[in-house]
Amino acid sequence: MTMMVAVDDAQKLSFKRPIGDGDTVIVYERHDCMRAVTVSPGSELQNRFGVFKHSDWVGKPFGSKVFSSKGGFVFLLAPTPQLWTLVLSHRTQILYLPDISFVVSCLEIVPGCVVLESGTGSGSLSTSLARAVAPSGHLFTFDFHEQRASSARADFQRNGLTSLITVTVRDIQGEGFPKQHEGSVDAVFLDLPQPWLAIPSASRCLKPDAVLCSFSPCIEQVQRTCETLRSSFTDIRTFEVLVRSYEIKEHCFAKSVSEEDGSPVGPPPQKRKQSTLPANKSEKTESNFSVMAKPCNTARGHTGYLTFARLTVLSN
């Protein structure tokens, strides 16, 4: 059962335009507090910074700083794939930006490519794949769960991606990819419990020398997938992408110096005590600024393994 969402010509992929009625904007409060809001004149957004009227947003460019009646402010950002990944509804486990960027790069996806994805899920990767193949390419994404597919379809329409994505309800593990795609696909991405069952079908769809990627959370899945890949693929490699974020802060340290000759007196005392400086010398305090870095306490750990393989070119 294939369903293609009608293209809305009013929705543009470019954000170099004013915000309009019905647009989705990312309301940015701080780096760890964002939400997706659909602009609707007459509606209001209320948060700890005050009340924000949607009618005040219409006509402003994406990236604008808007103020509430209390003087608080938020930023209205465009729903880019990077930001959408941070605010979307999690219907399934999702891929985050480190994995997504690695996948798009290693699958060699460029504008104009045709890509197959099995395991639409929450649509996090789908959104980035669609942007990568735009404006002339296309993503065909499949999910066996009809409700998930319907929710993802609504998200794609909300973000103006309906001309780039076809959502299909299909069990790829059991049925394989549709025959219409055989020999015409530039890249395949699999996010399945048993990806090895879909590899024969994927190999028939890929163009010669094209790349397949399989995402699996468990190493046992990776082992069996690699065994199946060896029959038709080469350059088989598995990666785990881990990113470590740092907090960068500036700290102020006080230092006591002699006013007479400017020489350091030493570190500030830990407790109050009587000064031992000679009577002809006075003491003053200077501030030194130093940049300090430390790993964030909330670093994201293991998400899954990414296995890449290139379809073998058969010689005549």
Give me the amino acid identity at 113.
C
56 among annotated binding-site residues: no
Structure tokens at 206: 């890929």
d(CA 87, CA 35): 6
d(CA 17, CA 78): 10
171 among annotated binding-site residues: yes
How are the residues of the chain apportioned to helix, strand and coil, as percentages rounded to the nearest 5? 20, 35, 45
β-strand partners of 48: none
- Helix/strand/coil (H/E/C) assignment for every residue in 66-104: EECCCCCEEEEECCCHHHHHHHCCCCCCCCCHHHHHHHH
The contacts of residue 179 (CB under 8 Å, 6+ apart) are none
20 among annotated binding-site residues: no
124 among annotated binding-site residues: yes
22 among annotated binding-site residues: no
DSSP codes joined into one string, 174-226? HH-S-GGGTT-EEEEEE--SSGGGTHHHHHHHEEEEEEEEEEESSHHHHHHHH
191 among annotated binding-site residues: yes
d(CA 290, CA 280): 32
123 among annotated binding-site residues: yes
Phi, then psi, of 86 in degrees rounded to 5: -85, -15
Q: Smallest Cα–Cα separation from 63: which of 15, 2, 127?
A: 15
Specify binding-site residues: 122-125, 143, 171, 191
Specify binding-site residues for S-adenosyl-L-methionine: 122-125, 143, 171, 191
